[in-house]
Structure 1
Amino acid sequence: MKQKLNVNQIPALKQEILDLPEKEKNQLLIRLINKDQVLIEQLHFKLLEDEYDLIKRFEDLKAEIETTLKDNFDSIINSKYTDKGKLYLRMIRNLSSRINHYAKVTKDVNGELRLRTILLIDSSAKYKSIQNEDSVIGYKARLYQVSKIKTMITLFGKLHEDLKYDYSDDFYESIEDTIVSNLQIEIIQSKLKYKTLSNE
């Protein structure tokens, strides 16, 4: 496998690039940025948006999560038994990837944690019969949710102390209800210390 080149590993090339005329450097920069859609969104957010845009991004994605879970309910529940779990798992993975994208663009740890919490609570409650079914795919769905709780614990550790208290007040009780009623066995198996999220 051919090794990827890194400009920092070729000092002479790096210096030649830095010495290019300003106009030529700018053209190269724009051309490279245009090849990376996530970078374009990151720059747009950083350079052109403010706190109100962040709130809108959060609320839009929150609404998308809630709407997707609601609008797909009948079609998933009424699908063939062998397809229900697969469709459910695919849906929550897709929604989780939307949260990943939000986090990449905004670097908003608090918003990411809250969105992941909303997805965990709402999906586990609304699709409880599928997530708790005694099948391989049901088990996979529960393990997937536990993996997201691990992510949430990591994010919680990055929050400012004031935000930790706000988060615990707003969400922890709901999370605990979800865990106790839906994911307790997998939590125990994973030895996951989810009570960290309570900030006690």
Structure 2
Amino acid sequence: MKIPSLAEIKKELSYLNDQELTNLIIDLSKFSRDNKAYLFFKLFERDNPKIFVEMVQDELEQDFRKSNSSNFHTAKKAAQALRRKLNKHLKLTKDISAQIELIIFFCKNLKAYGYLYHGHPVIQNLYDAQIGKIRTLIGKLHEDLQYDYEEDLAVLG
């Protein structure tokens, strides 16, 4: 089966009425939890733009509390799992400042929960990669916002 291009899908969607579009979106949201989360954030972020960041931070905070960082092996596995969850959430938003805030939150918690104290190279490389992502994303922002996030980055660095 050949998957059609995005332009072809967009063209076909333009032929549907409102009820058919609504049913299609509901069916699509039933396929995966990610689709449902994306739909939720897109519908409700107009009312509260920070809802996405707050919900992801709460979820990550709970996961950091539950994770085991007592030895370097479990700390490495937990840090990698947390990073995968973070990356999954980062795909749901195109807002660069929200992405930066979430990555900074992740890095601060890696430090606060003692993941970096093990001196494990995988954890350190994971942390350094996130710092690199922050630097890249900061470069895409307006100068005034860059200054604010540079201060947060200096605390992590």
Flag whether TM exceeds 0.5 (same fold).
yes
**In structure 2, C-alpha distance between the alignment counterparts of 1:111 and 1:68, rounded to whole Å:** 19
Gaps of 5+ in 2: none
Cα deviation code 1:30-89 (max 9, x no counterpart): 43453243233323322343252x4233233324434443454xx532xxxxxx223212
Identity rate, percent: 23
RMSD: 3.3
Cα deviation code 1:96-144 (max 9, x no counterpart): 23322332223232122122122223313523331x1xxxxx1122122
CA change 1:149–1:34 in 2 (3 A) is: same
CA change 1:92–1:5 in 2 (3 A) is: same
Matched residue, 1:59: 54
Question: Contact 1:116–1:148 (CA<8 Å) still a contact in 2?
Answer: yes
Q: Based on CA coordinates, which of the two structures has the bigger radius of gyration?
A: 1
TM superposition score normalised by structure 2: 0.72
Equivalent runs, 1:6-17 vs 2, <5 Å:
6-8=3-5
Aligned positions, number: 154
**In structure 1, C-alpha distance between the alignment counterparts of 2:131 and 2:150, rounded to whole Å:** 14
TM superposition score normalised by structure 1: 0.59
Cα deviation for residue 164 of structure 1 reads: 1.0
Equivalent runs, 1:1-150 vs 2, <5 Å:
5-8=2-5, 22=17, 26=21, 27-28=23-24, 30-52=26-48, 54-72=49-67, 75-77=68-70, 84-125=71-112, 126-130=114-118, 132=119, 138-150=120-132
**In structure 1, C-alpha distance between the alignment counterparts of 2:98 and 2:142, rounded to whole Å:** 13
